[in-house]
Structure 1
Amino acid sequence: MSPEDVVSQDTKDLRIFFGDLRRMTSREVADGEVSLIVSSPPYFNAPFDYPDLFPSYEDYLGLIRSFASQSRRVLGRGRICAIVTDDMLVKEGGDSRGRKYPLVADTTRIFLDEGFLYRDKITWVKPAGYTRISRRSGVVLQHPYPMYFYPDNIQESILLFQNGEFDYGHLKDAPKKILESSKIDTVQLNKERWNLTVWNITNVLPMPGRVEEGIAAFPEEIPRRLIKLFTMVGETVFDPFAGSGTTLKVALELGRKGFGYEIDLELKDILREKLGEENLLIEEREGAKRLRKSLQTKIQRQRSVVR
């Protein structure tokens, strides 16, 4: 890393590295530098995200293991890693019903094996008409008999893992101005039911014409709540699967710094447009690639062969 890079990083509130998370080093994100991780790993071969990205489910779990290891390294003691994920239905071969993969259970086991504490799970409930991930209930309508029931999925899990015990003396030692500006609005917390393990968030998909259109981005309300609940103003939020930059955008709006890692170079222009050039530093690392178009081309070729 050149001296110019160091100077640039000190003046930028947002930093994004394009590369393979598995190769991330402490020169990019230092040990214990991060106060909160909010991220949504790629859905395993989901048709609406990156279909056929992983050769196998075990290959996908290998990425989650690297995610857990890197998270353990960069998170401060007692701090939180929040993961938005859910079990995934993938159609394989000639099976029209598909196979359901237990991402929530496997992710939980991997993070526990890495040494994290299991803090909690929040269920994010989407509107009843949202069935992007699963449209399986029609099977029982066509065949109204036992064993034909497959429910539609309108929820995702927000898994909360903690990197050891938190020292609450850290809050007592914080400058009074920082502590007061980071105070949680308990009226809002109760009114909007943040205090429950079920969050009803309706603005699920980006509006047409938005820069994130066509990308599996979660709503800004999710990182907004998590950042307010688990960090103080001026602390650092990290998204190792930065995508279109939703977590980083909200972090900046709330007076936090943001780091991101992203493998897909095709998202660079979207990130620049969404986050702005003024506060953003982008660097490319080994392993970055153009994913989205190459996968779309692969899928089109497969479909043409089937036809």
Structure 2
Amino acid sequence: MKEDTNMGTHHKLIIGNCMEMSEIQDKSVHLAVTSPPYFNAPFDYKELFKNYDQYLELLRRVSKELFRVLAEGRIFVLNIDDMLINGEKFPIVADATKIFQNAGFRYRDRIIWKKPEGYLRISRRSGVILQNPYPMYFYPDNLLESIIIFQKGKFDYKSVPKDIKEKSKVDIKEIQDKKWYMTLWEMTNVLPNQVLEKDIAAFPEELPYRVIKLFSYVDETVLDPFVGSGTTMKVARQLGRNSIGIEIKKSLIPIIKEKIGFNGQQSLFKNDDTFELIEREKGWIE
């Protein structure tokens, strides 16, 4: 993908429910980035939650744990979007923003992720008005998702050693060429039926790549509490960061291992990179 710094990083996968992160010490994480399950989406976790309040309670409990484990001044990035279920639109972005503010985070920014116009995750709603060209038949297709940036307190820029700053320097040309400086990021989403993302609503590697580059330094620890197929962990390793991933589906262990470079038989990590698997006795699903 981009680069491999080979700095002897450590990667920990925890199989269990991320509403509780007892394995992670207070203020030990330098960046968190994640995309939680879509609320009862037919292509993700259909009818996983009994109701919308249960889904919001999940976010509330995760928000408190994230605030606890993040170091002072550090960033949490949430990729999320409103959801249309059985004709009802749920204001997930607004509700999630308020939940994380109530947990203590400062709402820092919102970036809109624009997907290619040739791809839609859900069937073309806009076709309704083409079949019925009259008022009240308009339903737009959604090609956008939100990337919400939160911060815990204020960051002390003087706390980072000069050599670490230089190793973590962001490529200005890359920022300009790909227009990272805008609040609109155009990124190609993971296409359907990719081998390691089959039946998983995974975000593209480009998303954690930008976030990790912009909000963490080499040798620091990146957390993804809804790690899915392991995309965040893979990119963190490539960029010389440590990673922690939490995943509730035990069946994804081999997928995650393969993606981040440890297939269970032979480690593909270079130098001193290491992998650790923690399987809780309860709190996971098949």
SS in 1 for 2:14: strand
Distance 1:90 1:142, change over 3 A: same
Counterparts of 1:1-307 in structure 2, within 5 Å, are 13-25=10-22, 28-91=23-86, 98-133=87-122, 135-171=124-160, 174=161, 176-202=162-188, 204-206=189-191, 208=193, 210-277=195-262, 278=267, 279-285=274-280, 286-290=282-286
1:236, 1:153 → 2: CA distance?
A: 33
TM-score, normalised with respect to structure 2: 0.90
Distance 1:68 1:133, change over 3 A: farther
Is 51-60 or 160-169 further displaced after alignment?
Answer: 160-169
SS in 2 for 1:83: strand
- The percentage of aligned residue pairs carrying the same residue is 51
Query: More helix per residue: 1 or 2?
Result: 1
Counterpart position of 2:4: none
RMSD: 1.4
TM-score, normalised with respect to structure 1: 0.84
The Cα shift of 1:213 comes to 2.5
Please tell me the residue identity of whatever aligns with 1:170.
Answer: S
The Cα shift of 1:31 comes to 0.5
* Conservation of the 8 A alpha-carbon contact between 1:88 and 1:133: no
Counterpart position of 1:94: none
* Conservation of the 8 A alpha-carbon contact between 1:234 and 1:257: yes
* Conservation of the 8 A alpha-carbon contact between 1:15 and 1:260: yes
The Cα shift of 1:82 comes to 0.3
1:54, 1:281 → 2: CA distance?
A: 30
Distance 1:169 1:114, change over 3 A: same
* Conservation of the 8 A alpha-carbon contact between 2:82 and 2:93: yes
1:266, 1:166 → 2: CA distance?
A: 38
* Conservation of the 8 A alpha-carbon contact between 1:134 and 1:153: no
2:118, 2:178 → 1: CA distance?
A: 21
Q: Relative contact order: is structure 1 or structure 2 higher (C-alpha 8 Å, sep ≥ 6)?
A: 2
1:21, 1:54 → 2: CA distance?
A: 15
Higher gyration radius (CA): 1
Please tell me the residue identity of whatever aligns with 2:72.
Answer: R
The Cα shift of 1:276 comes to 2.7
Distance 1:177 1:206, change over 3 A: farther
1:32, 1:133 → 2: CA distance?
A: 39
Please tell me the residue identity of whatever aligns with 1:123.
Answer: I
The Cα shift of 1:61 comes to 0.2
Please tell me the residue identity of whatever aligns with 1:38.
Answer: V
Unaligned ranges ≥5, structure 1: 1-10, 92-97, 291-307
